[in-house]
A and B are shown apart, each in its own frame.
Chain A
Amino acid sequence: MMKKITVKVNDKSVVVPEGVTVAAAVYMAGETAFRKSVSGQLRSPVCGMGICYECRVQIDNQPHQLACRQLCREGMEIRTL
């Protein structure tokens, strides 16, 4: 069976299958908004392949990381908005 790992999305622990992207983990945590735009609107991924930059989240205190291009690692701390 698929190995499971645990990540944190906005301090909430989520168990996800190994090999899923950070974006998938954010959705699995029940979030739909990933970032706030320069005028304060809520946004979520559009392209899914690393060109639109709408999926930017904070990963392990690093801002502006692309959620759709990074795979989850055990203990990763993800923060949206």
Chain B
Amino acid sequence: MPKKLRRKKIKTRKKVIAIDRISYSLNPNFEFFGELKSLILKSSPAEKDKMVRKILGLGRVKLAVTSGIFLTENTGLDLYDTVADLFIVGDDISKNKLRAFLVALEAEVGKEIKFTLMDKDEFQYRYGMFDRFIRVLLEGPHEKIINKLGL
């Protein structure tokens, strides 16, 4: 291979790397940083009605509980306290639909979602024996967006 050509190749590769390296971050010195933050974070991360409809379409869903990131009063400080952001109890849940739903939801929320799925038998067993996960979730701040179990 002639020398000239080889040099050219190396150059183009360097350029690609340089473009990739540019990243963006919020500017904390922005004049209305605090105001914009509270405005943006006050909006509920996902619309409840739409979410309920999509969750019901996943299979025979008995219970769906949102917590953590989905609570509107959450200002972003105590997001790490919750054991699960979304907890679904149901049978015959379509795995493909569930995956697509979670990917779309994470995109909308703009954050990774802590998600837990359980079938009805397992949930009732764990509920009956005061399982720690269930207790922490249902005793902490949460919202039951679907409740067919009469809890």
Q: Do A and B actually bind? A: no
